Amino acid sequence: MEVYRITLTKWSKSLKASGYPGRWNSKGVFMIYTSNTRALASLENLVHRSGEGLNKSFATMIIDIPKQLKAKEVKLNKLSKKWYKYENYIECQELGDAWIEESKYPILKVPSAIIKREHNYLLNPNHEQFKLIKIKGIEDFDFDPRLKG
């Protein structure tokens, strides 16, 4: 499976997690966020950057996840009705933190809060099979100047 991550060019050469808190992880819990399409990856950046810094140097990481790796999936029907709201981050963070701690699966498939029925794929850099996940390619990426957060 191919997934995509858009990041600042300086961070695009390796699969590293910052430990910065996000929807699916608390501060200090390391996971790598990817998306199933380039378009979703760009929208994720757009909403989280609020239009700031979109003129910087970005790259799209094309990441290969071998077919034999198993993923755990968070189903929409297992989440609260308003799970996608900012004030409900804690619900998702608890799920993501537990997945990392359990370390049973190298990948967590989660619903997109931006586009319903699309998915993001979270990668656990501490999982023993993580080493099988590779950067397949890196492409320059420019946000269209008409986009604003």
What pairing do the DSSP bridges indicate for beta strands 58-64 and 71-73? unpaired
pTM of the entire predicted model: 0.93
pLDDT of 144: 82
Both tokens of 96, joined, read 């993501």
- Answer left, alpha or beta for residue 67, where phi above 0 means left and psi between -120 and 50 means alpha: alpha
The rounded mean pLDDT for the chain is: 93
Percentage of the residues of the chain whose pLDDT score is greater than 70? 96
Q: How far apart are CA 19 and CA 147, in angstroms?
A: 28
Residue spans of the domains in the chain: they are 2-140
111 touches 74 (CB < 8 A): yes
Both tokens of 23, joined, read 């929807």
148 touches 51 (CB < 8 A): yes
143 pLDDT tier (thresholds 50, 70, 90): confident
Whose structure tokens read 């378009």? 39
pLDDT in tens, 21-39: 999 999 999 999 999 999 9
Q: What share of the chain is helix, strand, coil (3-state, %, to 5)?
A: 25, 30, 45
pLDDT in tens, 67-114: 999 999 999 999 999 999 999 999 999 999 999 999 999 999 999 999
Distance of CA 74 to the CA centre of its chain: 14
pLDDT of 56: 78
Neighbours of 79 (CB within 10 A): 16
